[in-house]
Structure 1
């Protein structure tokens, strides 16, 4: 068959397809079905995987398998959005914001400052009607987050179902309150967190007391636990999407695409948060220079490190990295991270250190991004992270005593 004959046959075929319709011929449907099958095979073989559970002791591993089975079950990321950046960007817009009515409390600090706590007392709890023994969960939001973040609201909603009480630790100046002293916050300085933990425990000394930190909130929590060892009233803790090594986090976020999608935006949020209190800092910090920062590292160099008395940005980042304190954690801690998280690159996750501490469990998913962990076709009401949080806090409240007997 010559080229002319081939062209004529192809033309006749296409004309016929147009007349009967693409799907009417069965070709379009076959292509779609073929693609769907191929994608399903790829998804099930390469995307949907069980997380890697790394523990420093066999007893903690058995405890989690018995009472927190979600950490050993296959995680099925949302089929149309499993890539790291997509998960990270879409979660705030997709997930719902359960309504929560807070009770506000200002806690005074030793230096004359104040910290705003948002309480969800759960006075209608049927499981724990006695407020003095009602389990209390302290929640720590991320870098520029507050009690209004969707992931915090979901944790409170899940705690409400369990009958627990929650209190959200808002970093200084972040929840609308005035700064009384020229000081904000950083994940290396744990003084404010120590004040809050002591205060909450003094109010309900007989209640089981746990904490959960997200992103920078988790870094702060781990640095606190590493400093305190066993000398903390917390019974257990959980962290989500923690940046383990601040240098590695900064390097990853400064890659061109990550800078464009995340770094620059977060930098402007940090600048906005301190610019509201600009008059408090002008005597000690060049605020004009701070407002010209183009990255989180530049902001930290010009503002955070100066405020907290570090000689260099390297000194601050070394002190802020929780990987160096993980070996000193003295209570059960579960840490959920995704290995595709651009905020916390996988090579910086302290796997070998975790293996040396019987109190530590790392749960590492292949996908999930940063505070993403979306699952299901339309992940509005729940995420994998939510399920890990709920099962772990319930396990520690109801069965934590078993760990000491293992």
Structure 2
């Protein structure tokens, strides 16, 4: 069967030109993105003295950033992490401590008694880890952090926010990034157990916000020799608005809100004494939940 010139053209457009155009466009987008990021170094917002310290002891801050070619951009990296992840084997020792208001906090310890770098238990540095929103000691990023700390001879302890470490709520109170009282209680407890051991704090996302708020309030009386935060909101209101953009709302906001609602449902018996649980469970965004 012979095709007319117009039919041949339509076939070429449908099966050759259009796919090639899409492929070229995708490749161009990647090249443009990588080219735009070429030569950029992290932006350090700090005093000159601290900048000198970082550049001397943390040289990675002065290196050029080149995103992974096959996985660039925050959204894609976040989604890929869910699909491609590993969970190091970590065995915790759980401890429940009480708070002044009658509540309880779950702490998960890795004592690292086999440490050859710091064999003396009373002097072994302790890394306090604060997970992100609705997270706990079983999150993959926490397991990796604990595994790395163990390899370097440190002791680790994960601070699970109230109601998120498997323990029961004893009071109608969970957590908030602006309320540092539970974190202060945990740090006092650790310092009491190991008064001679250096204590370092690290927080991810909401855990980082909590740690920064604590450091800002306590200053030199914080009881920590160092603090590190990762993926922390620079401007909470802007971050909340960003999460409500269509793509972010679909990919992240509904998921996080769902986790929050499930936590409320899990502790319904205690929380329904102070809030309308059924109304809370209708929330579809973090803003609505708050």
Q: TM-score band (shorter)?
A: 0.7 to 0.9
Q: Deviations over 1:117-140 (max 9, x none)?
A: 000111111110011111111000
Q: Gapped runs of 5+ residues in structure 2? A: none
Instruction: Return the alpha-carbon distance in structure 2 between the equivalents of residues 258 and 35 of structure 1.
Output: 24
Instruction: Return the alpha-carbon distance in structure 2 between the equivalents of residues 131 and 82 of structure 1.
Output: 43
1:120–1:166 Cα contact (<8 Å) kept: yes
Instruction: Return the alpha-carbon distance in structure 2 between the equivalents of residues 181 and 39 of structure 1.
Output: 52
Matched residue, 2:125: 135
1:92–1:150 Cα contact (<8 Å) kept: no
Instruction: Return the alpha-carbon distance in structure 2 between the equivalents of residues 92 and 149 of structure 1.
Output: 11
Matched residue, 1:176: 166
Matched residue, 1:265: 255
Instruction: Give the one of 86, 91, 96 matched to 1:96.
Output: 86
Instruction: Give the one of 140, 148, 156 matched to 2:146.
Output: 156
* 2:45 is aligned with 1:61: no
Instruction: Return the alpha-carbon distance in structure 2 between the equivalents of residues 40 and 82 of structure 1.
Output: 8
Give the alignment's TM-score, normalised by structure 2. 0.88
* 2:47 is aligned with 1:47: no
Instruction: Return the alpha-carbon distance in structure 1 between the equivalents of residues 179 and 136 of structure 2.
Output: 18
Secondary structure at the counterpart of residue 119 of structure 1: strand
Instruction: Return the alpha-carbon distance in structure 2 between the equivalents of residues 250 and 36 of structure 1.
Output: 30
Shift of 1:226: 1.0
Secondary structure at the counterpart of residue 116 of structure 1: strand
* 2:93 is aligned with 1:106: no
Q: Deviations over 1:41-60 (max 9, x none)?
A: 54552234443232432221
Secondary structure at the counterpart of residue 200 of structure 2: strand
1:125–1:163 Cα contact (<8 Å) kept: yes
RMSD over equivalenced CA pairs, Å: 2.4
Instruction: Return the alpha-carbon distance in structure 1 between the equivalents of residues 164 and 154 of structure 2.
Output: 25
Instruction: Return the alpha-carbon distance in structure 2 between the equivalents of residues 221 and 107 of structure 1.
Output: 19
2:96–2:107 Cα contact (<8 Å) kept: yes
Instruction: Give the one of 218, 226, 229 matched to 1:228.
Output: 218
Change (3 A) 1:40 1:272: closer
Instruction: Give the one of 194, 198, 207 matched to 2:184.
Output: 194
Change (3 A) 1:175 1:37: closer
Matched residue, 1:320: none
Aligned length: 275
Instruction: Give the one of 99, 102, 119 matched to 2:109.
Output: 119
Matched residue, 2:76: 86
- Runs of 4+ in structure 1 deviating by more than 3 angstroms, as ranges, are 34-44, 47-51
Change (3 A) 1:38 1:130: same
Secondary structure at the counterpart of residue 220 of structure 2: coil
Secondary structure at the counterpart of residue 133 of structure 2: coil
* 2:244 is aligned with 1:254: yes
1:219–1:244 Cα contact (<8 Å) kept: no
2:264–2:277 Cα contact (<8 Å) kept: no
Instruction: Return the alpha-carbon distance in structure 2 between the equivalents of residues 297 and 207 of structure 1.
Output: 40
Matched residue, 2:156: 166
Q: Gapped runs of 5+ residues in structure 1? A: 1-5, 15-21, 23-30, 301-406
Instruction: Return the alpha-carbon distance in structure 2 between the equivalents of residues 270 and 202 of structure 1.
Output: 32
